Amino acid sequence: MELSSKKGQLVSKAMLLLLFFVSVFTPRTEAQTVGDLQPQGTHITWYNAASGGQVVLKTTPIVEGTHYYASQTVNGCESTTRLDVLAYVNPQPQGSLSANGPLCSSGTGTLTWTKTAGTGPYTIVYNDGTANRTAGGVTSGTAFNVFTNPVTTSTTYTLVSVQDANCTRTDGFTGGSETINVNPNPTPSFTTQPGAIAYTYFVLTYTTESGKSNYEWTIPGTTPTNYSIIAGGGNTNSVTLKYLTAGTKTVTVNYADNGCTAPIAASSMATNVSVSNTGVPVQGGKLVYILWPSDPGYDPLVTHGLIAATADQSTGIAWITGGNTQTTRNGNTSVVIGTGQANTNFMKAQTGYTGGAAKVCDDYTNTDTGTGVYSDWYLPGLLDLDIMCDFKSSIGGFTADDYYWSSSENTGSTEGQRCTFNGFCYPGWNSKATNYRVRAVRSF
């Protein structure tokens, strides 16, 4: 506002807009004041009314939507007309910073400014732990790339300032810091897997690390033609199965961890699966029998069965020796499949025991022929021995038309039960002092 004289009278000439704005270019903790109103001219006095009223000090905080009235004093003369100013305070920009991720190994990092106040576009200044970086022309809600890409390590980004068309904020952000996390790619492995040799219908288990997500198993062939899953698989860290066909089998597994999926699935060792015919070499001997659901000790999750030694442990030995054992009834043995180990233990525990058929089996440790070394052999029960006789040709090494001891006692105190390995494989019994052949077995 300027003041001039005409014909000895003071005349005011308004040089200001009737409405103007207060723009906050530097954030302040105190309220904006009347002194921040900046009309043209000097020696300005503010009032709270168009005429009369009270002087408003420049230190008075501005109230949004309030009218303030300005006069100008020149050469000691104050204008009689006051300029009506409606105060409007532009809000500082406000909002939050967010980031993408997590990234797996490395990747392109982006940040997003989401405003709750302010007028875009925005100029964002942030610090990435190395230096302040500036991103211009940012639109609220639209991601922009960070200065250093690709991001290879977890990095925290902190807002330094946000400027919009009118104002700048440097602190007090709703969300002023965000981290782009970079996680390593997982490396799956097998913690449990079958060996190099297996057989059809044997229960096999593959296991990988627990506590992950999105497990993916790949099994050769199709079910139920080539394999059947007994337990697990799907989104679990293990799978238990039976192969139904022979061949070389390799299973793969993959999973995610911390949001990252392994780029390469883990492959199991190759397992050569053979048809589980009686007589195939397995675990130190020859396969005799695989338990079925009706057999004692059957477990759908674990293959159990009977293995025979590859040769006789004795060509002739008494059922039991020592003290009165040959004339005293043991009374604890059974003929049932799978009871041979218990029978052997009862024979060894009998008072006066010193040896016999059970001892040569219990003392036996097989020679390694490529399927492992085992020392848990025992004298077979009667029905175990009967099955061995049925498959004697496949198992091999038996003497035709000869007798083999079982670990099953007959009802008489002096008799043990044995099988005749001839064409009929019939069971019978005889004196415990009689010398018969012995073939050890073990369970698996």
CATH code for position 147: 2.60.40
Q: Which of 133, 165, 183 is the last residue of a domain?
A: 183
Residue with tokens 């949001």: 259
Give 383's pLDDT tier (boundaries 50, 70, 90): confident
In the 3-class helix/strand/coil scheme, how is 162-230 assigned residue by residue?
EECCCCEECCCCCECEEEECEECCCCCCEEECCCCEEECCCEEEEEECCCCEEEEEECCCCCCCCEEEE
* Whole-number percent of the chain with pLDDT over 90: 61
73 and 14, same domain (yes or no) = yes
316 and 263, same domain (yes or no) = no
pLDDT tens-digit readout, 119-170: 999 999 999 999 999 999 999 999 999 999 999 999 999 999 999 988 999 9
pLDDT tens-digit readout, 294-313: 788 888 888 889 999 999 99
Predicted pLDDT of residue 6: 28
Give 422's pLDDT tier (boundaries 50, 70, 90): low
> Which of residues 221 and 30 earns the better pLDDT score?
221
- Whether the CB-CB separation of 379 and 357 falls below 8 Å is answered with yes
Task: Average the pLDDT over 80-104 and give the result.
Answer: 91
In a domain, 407, yes or no: yes
Task: Average the pLDDT over 316-344 and give the result.
Answer: 90
In a domain, 279, yes or no: no
118 and 241, same domain (yes or no) = no
348 and 417, same domain (yes or no) = yes
Total domains present in the chain: 4
Q: Which of 183, 208, 230 is the last residue of a domain?
A: 183
Give 218's pLDDT tier (boundaries 50, 70, 90): very high
235 and 199, same domain (yes or no) = yes
Range(s) of the domain holding residue 43 = 2-86
Predicted pLDDT of residue 428: 80
Phi/psi of residue 157, each to 5°? -115, 130
State the average pLDDT for the chain.
Answer: 87
In a domain, 280, yes or no: no
pLDDT at 189 over 60: yes
336 and 375, same domain (yes or no) = yes
361 and 437, same domain (yes or no) = yes
pTM for this entry: 0.57
438 and 289, same domain (yes or no) = yes
